[in-house]
Amino acid sequence: MKKILSIAMTLVLVLSLASCGGDAKKEEKPAESKKAEEKAPETTKAPEKEEKAEEPVEQMVFKMADNQPADYPTTLGDLEFARIVEEKTNGRIKIEVYHSKQLGEEKDVIEQVQLGAIDFARVSLSPMTEFSPSLAVLALPYIYSGSDHMWKVLNSEIGDDFLAGLSDSGFVGLTWYDSGARSFYNSVKPIKTVDDLAGLKFRVQPAELMVDMVEALGASPTPLNYGEVYSAIQTNVIDGAENNWPSYNTSSHYEVAKYYTLDEHLRVPEIVIASKSTLDKLSPEDVEIIKVAAKESTKLQRDEWNKKVEESKKVIADNGNEVIELSDEEKAKFAERMAPVWEKHAGDYKDIIEKIQAMK
Ligand code: GTR
């Protein structure tokens, strides 16, 4: 009896330590120690009470990474995903969301997910093209006529096939989130024509596709992590970058790059991924719950996205930034320059591209 009591007390202590360690909001661990953390899902067993022969319920705790802040639409989507999973498994599966790049910059996070050191992540499709090159089809400059067209494609068999195809690279693609359209901003001058980009230095996401795109426009690309962009613009290491309204706002890049040209060269969706090695350890029923929950969370994410776009436009207008609209003719000139990028990155996928274009 005494022995059982002392085992129970030790378990209670272990449990309370484990739950302290899992508090994503309060915890700020050095990146190194995070990387070295346990790869397998953390499992904790409820302490056995005295002689009672009840089957202990095993709780699984997983980590999910996002590089955007706590109130950003993607993080809100992640939290909704985690909430649905927890609800549908009666608390058996818990997903802790680490926002604001607490688990590292995007490309490192993707590598960690591939290795199974991080279980889930919400990332941009651009850096994913480095791990699964065919995804470039969905991130080609000017491939979509607008948001409706993009969502029609992502919600079709084409989108599902791309999610499923990720298993060859060690991921499970779960769902898509909105990321609007990306446009150029800079600290030097208002860009009104494609020729105005000549010679300017723009930060790009670390992906060959993005490097090639900026080169095709006659500008000079600098791949950098997202977290390094603000100070690089501020210190004139680069002249600007490109992103959607909510990122331009929440990263505070609008403070150091006041000219925003709405050329909308890219619609790169966000993607929610899981580590294949994590999901391989779960039952097919649990994997199904996770897949359905992720898809369900997209609705909330898209609603939050639309709100954040409006809020961001206001913040940027109130700051007195110069926002430059382009005519359809001028946008067409940007698009014409992209031919070599399409050829290099999607030359082998002409049939899928035709299908996408037929869905306009
Ligand atoms: C944002 C995206 C981030 C990151 C960032 C970037 O739109 O949400 O995940 O990819 O762009 O430009 O690095």
Query: In the prediction, which pLDDT does 88 show?
Result: 98
**Pocket around ligand 1 at a 6 A CB cut-off:** 67-68, 74, 106, 123-124, 179, 205, 226, 243-244, 247, 270
The Cα 225–Cα 105 span in angstroms is: 7
Q: How far does residue 268's CA lie from ligand 1's centre (Å)?
A: 9
Determine which helix (DSSP H) or strand (DSSP E) holds 183, and give its type and residue range: strand 182-186
Query: In the prediction, which pLDDT does 116 show?
Result: 98
Q: How far does residue 250's CA lie from ligand 1's centre (Å)?
A: 11
The Cα 96–Cα 87 span in angstroms is: 14
Query: In the prediction, which pLDDT does 50 show?
Result: 53
Q: How far does residue 269's CA lie from ligand 1's centre (Å)?
A: 10
State the closest ligand 1 atom to the C-alpha of 72, by its place in the atom list counted from 1.
8
Q: How far does residue 348's CA lie from ligand 1's centre (Å)?
A: 27
State the closest ligand 1 atom to the C-alpha of 268, by its place in the atom list counted from 1.
7
Contact assessment for residue 194 and residue 334, using Cβ atoms and an 8 Å cutoff = yes
Parallel, antiparallel or unpaired: strands 182-186 and 240-243? antiparallel
Among 64, 31, 62, smallest CA distance to 271 is for 64
The Cα 24–Cα 339 span in angstroms is: 44
Q: How far does residue 26's CA lie from ligand 1's centre (Å)?
A: 24
State the closest ligand 1 atom to the C-alpha of 241, by its place in the atom list counted from 1.
12
Task: Give 28-51 pLDDT, tens digit per residue.
Answer: 343 333 333 444 455 555 445 455
Query: In the prediction, which pLDDT does 112 show?
Result: 98
State the closest ligand 1 atom to the C-alpha of 122, by its place in the atom list counted from 1.
9
SS3 295: helix
Q: Which two tokens stand for residue 263?
A: 């050329």
The Cα 325–Cα 264 span in angstroms is: 10
First to last CA, the chain: 72
Q: pTM score, two decimals? A: 0.86
The Cα 238–Cα 185 span in angstroms is: 11
Query: In the prediction, which pLDDT does 21 show?
Result: 34
Which residue carries 């990122």 as its tokens? 247
Q: What DSSP character marks residue 258?
A: -
Instruction: Give whole-number Cα distances, 358 to 127, 152, 153, 354, in Å.
Output: 27, 11, 10, 6
Q: How far does residue 41's CA lie from ligand 1's centre (Å)?
A: 27
State the closest ligand 1 atom to the C-alpha of 203, by its place in the atom list counted from 1.
12
Q: What is the pLDDT along the chain (360 residues), one digit of tens a residue?
A: 344 434 434 433 333 333 333 333 333 343 333 333 444 455 555 445 455 566 778 899 999 999 999 999 999 999 999 999 999 999 999 999 999 999 999 999 999 999 999 999 999 999 999 999 999 999 999 999 999 999 999 999 999 999 999 999 999 999 999 999 999 999 999 999 999 999 999 999 999 999 999 999 999 999 999 999 999 999 999 999 999 999 999 999 999 999 999 999 999 999 999 999 999 999 999 999 999 999 999 999 999 999 999 999 999 999 999 999 999 999 999 999 999 999 999 999 999 999 999 999
